[in-house]
């Protein structure tokens, strides 16, 4: 039997309770409780994002995107039109789609950069700005250096700001990642691309572990993507505590919720046990664009839709949920 949810007794984050006073101060009782859990520093850092000082950072430019991944059972063209019809202005590419001739990648690893530029133009013609693409390779894979370089070139040609990678579920090889990322950093800089690494179980399954790697690489073009659902799913850890340990390195999110009960499964945002107000509160004022890429939009416990229209409806619901969360956090931060 799986252990109880790590979120059951998680520490509340200031500014995420809906109370204006909670956004600027901690009660003595809560301060003592935070002290005993070792979370004082995280909570204090949180307060800086809800301060009223004139020198506080500008509001984050949240970019709510839908990945094409939830539409993998349908052609890519239908995914793009569905995402736009669901009200999105941003899109993330990944990974494969069922086309009339069989399953095909959104963009082959060895595709010419011009092919990426053409696909990006198709997206923009629909009113969708691409913000991220999957690399589709583990950093420790023997082919990774060449594939990741080509993915960076593709992203640069398409003017896509981020390429996503992640380690094997059994754990990544941190020393190999660091060596390879240091070599990739100047390539990414030349193409104005950021390579972001997310959590995927094993030894690199937390944001804290990924941030240790990116800090060692020490490049603005090698950063962390945060996947709260994966942290809870693979390691059964509290992502609300973990995200505080890597917040300064995070440049995007893969949006995915998770439930431990009544069934252990990933799901769309707002359907699971992760409080997205608390998850995103730390990031309200970064002064930067921050893609929120919906990777899982599906409802728990019930079968996934068999029609693209059913996926459209869930994509729309995910967008509206995130828009509501962001509007509330931004309102609280302006008080």
Instruction: Name the DSSP class of 8.
Output: T
* Phi, psi dihedral angles at 91 (to 5 degrees): -140, 150
- For residues 306 and 275, state if they share a domain: yes
- For residues 180 and 278, state if they share a domain: yes
pLDDT in the model for residue 56? 87
In a domain, residue 143? The reply is yes
In a domain, residue 4? The reply is no
Q: Which two tokens stand for residue 145?
A: 């250096």
Beta strands in 191-264, from DSSP E residues, in sequence order:
194-198, 222-226, 250-255, 257-259
Round to whole Å and give the CA distance between 207 and 181: 17
- The CATH number for 99's domain is 3.20.20.150
pTM for the model stands at 0.86
- For residues 122 and 49, state if they share a domain: no
DSSP string, 107-169: S-TT--HHHHHHHHHHHHHTT-EEEEEE--S-TTSTTHHHHHHHHHHHHHHHT--EEEEE--T
In a domain, residue 2? The reply is no
Q: Residue 186 contacts by C-beta under 8 Å, 6 or more apart in sequence?
A: none
pLDDT in the model for residue 263? 97
- For residues 170 and 38, state if they share a domain: no
- For residues 126 and 38, state if they share a domain: no
* Residues of the chain under the 70 pLDDT cut: 1-54, 172
State the Rg of the chain over Cα.
19
Q: Which two tokens stand for residue 214?
A: 């990116």
pLDDT in the model for residue 212? 97
- For residues 19 and 98, state if they share a domain: no
- For residues 89 and 159, state if they share a domain: yes
Say how many C-beta atoms besides its own lie within 10 A of residue 105's C-beta: 15
Instruction: Name the DSSP class of 191.
Output: T
pLDDT in the model for residue 119? 98
pLDDT in the model for residue 169? 86
Round to whole Å and give the CA distance between 287 and 254: 20
Query: What is the tally of structural domains in the chain?
Result: 2
- For residues 33 and 126, state if they share a domain: no
- For residues 16 and 140, state if they share a domain: no
DSSP string, 213-224: HHHHHT-TTEEE
- For residues 17 and 135, state if they share a domain: no
User: What is the separation, in whole angstroms, between the first and last Cα of the chain?
Assistant: 45
Say how many C-beta atoms besides its own lie within 10 A of residue 157's C-beta: 18
- For residues 14 and 130, state if they share a domain: no
Q: Which two tokens stand for residue 175?
A: 């020393």
Residues paired with residue 253 on neighbouring β-strands, in sequence order: 226, 292
pLDDT in the model for residue 7? 57
- For residues 237 and 88, state if they share a domain: yes
Round to whole Å and give the CA distance between 249 and 236: 22
Range of the domain at 113: 57-333
């Amino acid at each position: 039997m799986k252990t109880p949810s790590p979120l059951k007794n998680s520490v509340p984050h200031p500014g995420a309770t809906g109370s204006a006073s909670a956004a600027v101060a901690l009660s003595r009782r809560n301060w003592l409780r935070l002290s005993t859990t070792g979370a004082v520093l995280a909570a204090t850092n949180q307060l800086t994002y809800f301060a009223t000082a004139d020198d506080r950072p500008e509001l984050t430019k949240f970019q709510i995107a839908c990945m094409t991944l939830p539409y993998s059972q349908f052609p890519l063209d239908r995914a793009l039109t569905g995402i736009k019809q669901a009200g999105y202005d941003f899109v993330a590419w990944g990974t494969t789609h069922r086309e009339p001739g069989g399953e095909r990648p959104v963009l082959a690893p060895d595709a010419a950069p011009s092919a990426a530029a053409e696909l990006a133009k198709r997206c923009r013609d629909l009113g969708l700005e691409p913000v991220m693409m999957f690399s589709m390779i583990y950093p420790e894979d023997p082919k990774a250096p060449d594939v990741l370089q080509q993915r960076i070139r593709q992203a640069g040609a398409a003017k896509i700001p981020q390429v996503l990678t992640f380690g094997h579920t059994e754990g990544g090889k941190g020393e190999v990642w660091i060596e390879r990322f240091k070599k990739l950093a100047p390539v990414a800089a030349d193409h104005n691309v950021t390579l972001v690494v997310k959590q995927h179980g094993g030894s690199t399954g937390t944001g804290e572990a990924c941030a240790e790697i990116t800090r060692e690489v020490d490049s603005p073009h090698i950063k962390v993507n945060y996947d709260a659902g994966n942290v809870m799913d693979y390691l059964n850890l509290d992502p609300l505590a973990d995200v505080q340990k890597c917040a300064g390195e995070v440049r995007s999110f893969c949006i995915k919720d998770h439930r431990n009960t009544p069934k252990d499964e990933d799901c769309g945002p707002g359907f699971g046990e992760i409080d997205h107000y608390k998850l995103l509160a730390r990031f309200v004022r970064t002064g930067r664009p921050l893609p929120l890429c919906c990777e899982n939009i599906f409802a728990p416990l019930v079968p996934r839709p068999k029609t693209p229209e059913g996926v459209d409806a869930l994509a729309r619901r995910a967008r509206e949920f995130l828009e509501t969360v962001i509007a509330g956090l931004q309102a609280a931060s302006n008080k």
